[in-house]
Amino acid sequence: MPAVPLHLSGHPDIALSADCGNCFALCCSALGFERSTDFAHDKPAGQACRNLAADFSCTIHARLRGEGYRGCTVFDCFGAGQHVAQDLFGGRSWTEHPEVRAPMFAAFPIVRQLHEVLWYLDEARHLCRSSPAVGDSAAAGVASLTEETVGLTRLEPARLDAVDLAELRERVGEALKDVSVAVRSAAGGRGVPRRLVPGADLLGADLAGRVLQGANLRGAYLIAADLTGADLRWVDLLGADLRDARLQGADLSRALFLTPMQVAAASGDSRTRLPERIQPPAHWQG
Ligand code: SF4
């Protein structure tokens, strides 16, 4: 969780960072996880994790990574947890009010996706304001989609099921693409290797020290890539897989559409430069 809670621009009532103290551990209960290197046991959706305490804290919080729960140190609800718990269900916990359990667990994954969409749209709005290269029509599209998504987060829980998330994500993706193209074109980007394209397979690639400014690496597979000391400013990283990527000394201060989850899945250090709204994860050393 960031030192200073993040809120959606123009909407101080909508948080974009988690406030676990005002949630009922919805990520540890509503969501399902398969046993993997990120989560040490099978946990069906709707069933509380075996490591969850009665007060909604995690009994192995200080040892998560060592005990095989690395995914829990990476997960981010973008502020959806407290919104569902406090705003949509009036602060009634699913333990004390069993009648809210099913609708609350059903609402959380949907609202989480909406908050993630707002995370991206919020960045796009900042880019629209700060970059003259972004046209008025792209900016208007981003503003309109933001208000539409805000409205969806305020729906009655029973109506959330009807939200067409795939269709919304597609429209938001197009709007973000327009912003990204404008911003990256203004930033230059000549000299970026031709293999650095959206969706590129860059598993374990050696990109240490490279200047990648302006590249479009949307959805690229950068798993375990060596990006130490790389210049990733104005690189579109929307949906890029950065698991175990090495970001020590890399400059991501102006990387586009980066999320805290992507950063937490990678490794970095005190020299890694991150966008202002993303704090270095607690597990980064040095
Ligand atoms: S291990 Fe802890 S943080 Fe992870 S889901 Fe279980 S209770 Fe939550």
Question: Of 50, 55, 60, which is best to mutate to test ligand 1, by the most ligand atoms within 8 angstroms of its C-beta?
Answer: 60
Burial letters for 73-94: b for 16+ Cβ neighbours within 10 Å, e otherwise?
ebbbbbbbbbbbbeebbeeebb
Proportion of the chain in helix, strand, coil states, percent, rounded to 5? 35, 10, 55
Q: Cα(18) to centroid of ligand 1, in Å?
A: 15
Q: CA-CA-CA-CA torsion for 182, 8, 15, 171, nearest 10 degrees?
A: -50
Collapse the DSSP code of 103 into the 3-class scheme (helix H, G, I; strand E, B; otherwise coil) and give the result.
helix
Q: Cα(71) to centroid of ligand 1, in Å?
A: 9
Q: To which H or E segment does residue 15 belong?
A: strand 11-15
Ligand 1 atom 5: the closest Cα is on which residue?
28
What pLDDT shows up at residue 104?
A: 98
**Residues with Cβ within 6 A of ligand 1?**
28, 49, 51-52, 58, 60, 69, 72
Question: Of 28, 55, 61, 105, which is best to mutate to test ligand 1, by the most ligand atoms within 8 angstroms of its C-beta?
Answer: 28
CA distance 39 to 254: 31
What pLDDT shows up at residue 286?
A: 52
CATH of the domain spanning 189-286: 2.160.20.80
Atom of ligand 1 nearest to the CA of 49: 6
Q: The tokens of 138 are what?
A: 């792209």
Q: Cα(28) to centroid of ligand 1, in Å?
A: 5
What pLDDT shows up at residue 195?
A: 86
What pLDDT shows up at residue 193?
A: 77
Q: Cα(104) to centroid of ligand 1, in Å?
A: 18
Atom of ligand 1 nearest to the CA of 25: 8
Ligand 1 atom 8: the closest Cα is on which residue?
28
What pLDDT shows up at residue 1?
A: 46
What pLDDT shows up at residue 3?
A: 54
Where in the chain is CATH 2.160.20.80?
189-286
Low-confidence stretches of the chain (pLDDT beneath 50): 1
Residue 175 Cα to chain centre, angstroms: 18
